[in-house]
Amino acid sequence: MDKSRTARTAGTVVAAAFGVALIAGPAAAEEWRFALEEIEGSVQDAYAQEFARLVEERSGGDVTVTVYPYGSLGTSAELTEQAMDGIVQLTHASPGHLGTLVPEVQVFSIPYLLSQNNAVNQELLTESPLIYGTIADALREQGLELLTMYPEGDMVWTTNREIRSPEDFENFRMRTMVSPMLVAAYESFGANPTPLPYSEVYGALQLNMIDGQVNPIFAIQEMGFYEVTEYMIWAGQQQFVTTVVANGDWYAGLEGERQELLDGVIADMADYIFETQEEYNQERLEMIREAKPEMEMIELTAEERAAFEERAEIVREQFVDMVGESGQAIVEGLEAEIQALEDEHGAEESME
Ligand code: 6CS
C-alpha cells in the first residue's frame, strides 16, 4: 500500500472515470471519496487534505481519502446529488446552494443573523443543539448525514460601482449562490439578484452580464474575481458557512470503530480549519492589494450598514414563509443560542 501520500487529489475526472483515480497507487482496503465546492488551494481543500492525513494516520493506512476539487465532478448542487447517490461518500455542501433541497439550512443566508464575533459563529457551528438537532434531521431526510459546519470568512462584495446604500443597488445585477433565500436577501437590499454556479461567475463579470458578486476574500483572490471588478466592499452582512456531509446510508453502515474514527477526526478538525480560514483570508487580502493596488477597498460605516440591516428584516419573515411552521423556531432558537454565546464571548471580534 502506498503510505507516502496522505491524500490523492483527483485531477479533471468525471464520475464515470473513478477507476482512473486508482491508478495513482495500489488500492487501499477502503477508499473514501471527498468532493469539494472549491478549487485546490482553497479553505475546503485545506480541510480535506488535513482530514485525509488524519484519517489515513489513525486508520494505520487502511483508509485513504481521494479528494475531488471543484471542477472535477460538477456544480455544488451536483456534488450534493452525488453524495446522496453514494457516488462520493463525503462532500462540502454550502447552505447557499442547498436551499431548494433543504429549505431549513437557508437560515444561514439571512443577513445579519450570525454574530459579528466569528469565534461565536465557530462555537455555534460546531456545537449548536439546534443545528445538530433540527437542521441535521432535515438533511437526514434527504439522505445526508451532517458531520460538521464551519465558517470560511466574512463575505465581501466585489463590484463595478461603489455601493454604500440600498439606493446604489438600483439596477445592479448581483450574483448570488442559487438558494432562494439569497435571492430574497439581495432583493431586500435593492439589487437584482442573479443566481449562478460558482464556475460561471468570472466569465459573467468579465462579459458584464453581472455587476458584482459576493464571497470571502480567499475565494475572491483564488477565483480572480478582483481582476474583473473595481471595488471590494465590507458590509458585514454575512459569514460564509459550509457543511461537511456524508451519504446517510454509508455513514450509518460504517462499522463502529470506523464511525468513531470519522467522528473523532471531524471533531479534532474544528480549531484547525477556523485558524486556517483566518490565515487564508488575511494572506489573500495582501495578495490582492499587491496584485491590484488600484482596487478600492471600502468598509461601510455603522450608519451605512444599518440601512441594509433594516431592509433585511423582512428576510426573516420570508424564511418562515418558505420553511413553514418550524422556520420560526429555527430563527428564534438560533438567535437565542447566538445571544447566549455572545454573552459569554462578546458580540464583537476580539483584537487579541
Ligand atoms: O460562491 C460560491 O458559489 C462558492 N463560494 C465559496 C467560497 N465556496 C463554495 C461556493 O460554491
Do residues 221 and 252 both lie within one domain? no
- Would the CB of 153 count as within 6 Å of ligand 1? no
Residue 81 grid cell: 446529488
Do residues 108 and 211 both lie within one domain? no
Protein residue whose Cα sits closest to atom 2 of ligand 1: 198
The answer to whether residue 351 sits within a structural domain is no
Contact residues for 15 (Cβ-Cβ < 8 A; gap 6+) = 73, 74, 82, 87
Distance 25 CA to ligand 1 centre (A): 31
- Number of structural domains (the chain) is 2
CA 157/CA 214 separation, integer angstroms: 4
Do residues 205 and 226 both lie within one domain? yes
Which helix (DSSP H) or strand (DSSP E) does residue 304 occupy?
helix 302-311
312 close to 189: Cβ distance less than 8 angstroms? yes
CA 96/CA 80 separation, integer angstroms: 12
Distance 94 CA to ligand 1 centre (A): 7
Residue 178 grid cell: 442559487
Do residues 124 and 217 both lie within one domain? no
Do residues 75 and 220 both lie within one domain? no
Do residues 76 and 60 both lie within one domain? yes
Residue-number span of the structural domain to which 85 is assigned: 3-151+240-281
Best residue among 155, 202, 215 to mutate for probing ligand 1's pocket (most ligand atoms within 8 Å of CB) is 215
Best residue among 198, 226, 244 to mutate for probing ligand 1's pocket (most ligand atoms within 8 Å of CB) is 198
- Would the CB of 38 count as within 6 Å of ligand 1? yes
CA 326/CA 141 separation, integer angstroms: 15
Cell 480535506 belongs to which residue? Answer: 48
Do residues 76 and 56 both lie within one domain? yes
Q: Give the residues across from 243 on adjacent strands.
A: 149
CA 74/CA 95 separation, integer angstroms: 17
CA 37/CA 45 separation, integer angstroms: 9
- Residue 177 carries which side chain, given as an amino acid letter? M
Do residues 58 and 166 both lie within one domain? no
- Would the CB of 216 count as within 6 Å of ligand 1? yes
pTM of the model: 0.93
The domain boundary residue, chosen from 251, 281, 311: 281
Do residues 197 and 274 both lie within one domain? no
257 C-beta neighbours (distance < 10 Å), count: 9
Distance 3 CA to ligand 1 centre (A): 32
pLDDT tens over the chain, length 352 residues: 333 334 666 644 443 434 444 444 455 589 999 999 999 999 999 999 999 999 999 999 999 999 999 999 999 999 999 999 999 999 999 999 999 999 999 999 999 999 999 999 999 999 999 999 999 999 999 999 999 999 999 999 999 999 999 999 999 999 999 999 999 999 999 999 999 999 999 999 999 999 999 999 999 999 999 999 999 999 999 999 999 999 999 999 999 999 999 999 999 999 999 999 999 999 999 999 999 999 999 999 999 999 999 999 999 999 999 999 899 999 999 999 999 999 999 998 865 5
Which CATH number fits the domain that encloses residue 170? 3.40.190.170
The answer to whether residue 207 sits within a structural domain is yes
CA 111/CA 233 separation, integer angstroms: 15
CA 127/CA 101 separation, integer angstroms: 23
Do residues 187 and 105 both lie within one domain? no
